[in-house]
Structure 1
Amino acid sequence: MESAGILAGPMLRRVNTDSVAIWMATDRPVEVDAAIYVLDTLIPLDTATKTTSIRAGHRLFIHVVHMYGQLPTDTLLGYDLLFRVGKNGYHLASLGLIHKNEDSVTYDGLPYPSFFIPARAAPISSYASCRELYWKGDGTLVATNALLQMETRNRATRPCALSLLSD
């Protein structure tokens, strides 16, 4: 069965009150559209989508999906992606990426990957650096994932940003 061929992502790249950018890589050219929802009500927000795609290799396509609109702060939001490959269309759920196991791109049984935009100036964030091969332990990404699993719906303690920096 033909699918969207996702190799990496989707991953939030940048979020602010008037736009969201989602990054992903696929093994084939796809058209990508997106929607943002208020998760408490599943009401879609009025947004426009523009996707920029580049071919980075024989079977490597990089996509950045930009959604524009007025986004509320301190509100749990979710997004869904629609991939078109020829005449076929696939959502995250139909690709098996939203379900109740460790491969899901959602937390706490939410119907879409979630995020929020904090209204306060000093949000809770996580920081991760490159790992040396000799490093023992799980590292910051595993700890951030565990925290997100525990605090999915609690905007007061849930990290809203991850900085990936190098030494």
Structure 2
Amino acid sequence: MKLEKAKYLIKKLMKEQKYKYDYINYIDSQGLPVDITQADTLHYSFCEISYINELQLSITFKTNHFEVLIFPDPILIDIENKDSAIFLINYINNYIKIGRFYIDTKSFDIVWRGNNISYEILEAFPNEIIEESIISGISYFIDISYSLSKLIKGEFNIKEACGYIDAVWDII
């Protein structure tokens, strides 16, 4: 599968997935709107996610694969709650099967990064790849948003936050 076909297929499949995005931007390296065939990154924004103001999704197209990053806006973590947030994210990473959450300890950004997916795999399993590489990341953020929000606000301690994740994912 060629890069242009992969971009078209992902755009088409994103219209059909279960979470409805509020808007999409096609931008180039200078931040200007461009035709999808010229864009190296697609940016989707999902507003009104419970406990998160906005969830942003970036799909970056490389020569042979694409990469997915999902992150909340605005930044949720600060210096005071960094350590407990890192503990919770590490706890969550023990249970998720696809992708990983990361916290940038300098900017305090939290991000879910999917696995790099080759265009050949996308062509062979398009619906499964969108579900596993994109929709799972959004679902993970929705699942953890309450617990993470309560932890960051000081309304949950780390044991309560992890316990909530256990209950949501029926880990016990």
TM-score (norm 2): 0.29
TM-score (norm 1): 0.29
Higher strand share: 1
Higher helix share: 2
